[in-house]
Structure 1
Amino acid sequence: MATIALLILVSMMVSSALALLALNMGKKSNLDREKMSPFECGFDPNKKARSPFSLRFFMLTIIFLIFDVEIVLLLPLGVLAKYSDPLMITITATILVLIIGLGLTHEWNQGALSWEI
């Protein structure tokens, strides 16, 4: 029992020493203040961080993600063609392509894909 307590004590001391060493060695100096400031695409970091974004661009991104997931559902069908009934693979692929096509047509009719202001 004393051996386990000694091992726990030694491991706690070693981990504490390593943590203190990392904290002391990892301190950054204030001399490189410009290097420490955030930099995003040439914009001044002192300006307002919460600037408005384009809702149209956000919606286009969401539409892209939805269609991307549907395309990912189509990809395994080529591999499954060897192991499954070709008629079922064809029906599944047709249904998925029909869903993608109807979704694209709907988004086009709603004007989500137009870049007009």
Structure 2
Amino acid sequence: MTSLSHMDFSHPFFGAFFLLVFCAVVFYGITILARTVSRKMARLDTEKLKLTIYECGPEVTKQPNKISAHFYLFAVLFILFDVEIIFMFPWAVNFKVLGMFGFIEMILFVLILSIGFAYAWRKGALEWHSIR
């Protein structure tokens, strides 16, 4: 009797599981190998060369980040209302199947999102401000 007698290698998903584990191990190994080789081959004495101007252009200066958080707020609001439409499409397709229950659920969904929209509007999140 072998020590692996409790394992069932004839299971239909054993090959897929083995392939998944094998690919994960190979991926991890290649990643570690690439990281190690690149660190060994990198030249660390070329920092001045990396900071010099390529061909032409102004001197590189460090500037503070002037990107407003308002861009982020607009993106979040866009995603919020975009996802609302994604949820409304399957509801509209199956409107007859869902019946009155589905209609009431969608009314509640739209009402909650409308409250969020009114709150964002009242707080001035939809008004564009100057970056300066």
If the length of structure 1 is used for normalisation, what is the TM-score?
Answer: 0.52
Extract unaligned runs of 5+ from structure 1: 1-36, 38-43
Superposition map of 1:71-90 within 5 A: 71-84=85-98, 86-90=99-103
Give the whole-Å Cα distance in 2 for the aligned partners of 1:96 and 1:89: 10
Q: Which TM-score applies when normalising by structure 2?
A: 0.47
> How many pairs does the alignment contain?
73
1:71 shift after superposition: 2.1
Identity of aligned residues (%): 30
Q: Indicate the structure whose relative CO is greater, using CA pairs within 8 Å and at least 6 residues apart.
A: 2
Listed one character per residue, the Cα deviations across residues 55-91 of structure 1 (whole Å, up to 9, x for unaligned) are 111111111111211221111111112322x211210
Q: How much is the aligned-residue C-alpha RMSD, in angstroms?
A: 2.5
User: Could you say which structure has the higher helix fraction?
Assistant: 1
Give 4+ residue runs of structure 1 displaced > 3 Å after superposition: 46-52
In structure 1, which of residues 36, 60, 68 is the aligned counterpart of residue 82 of structure 2? 68
Contact 1:77 1:89 in 2 (8 A): yes
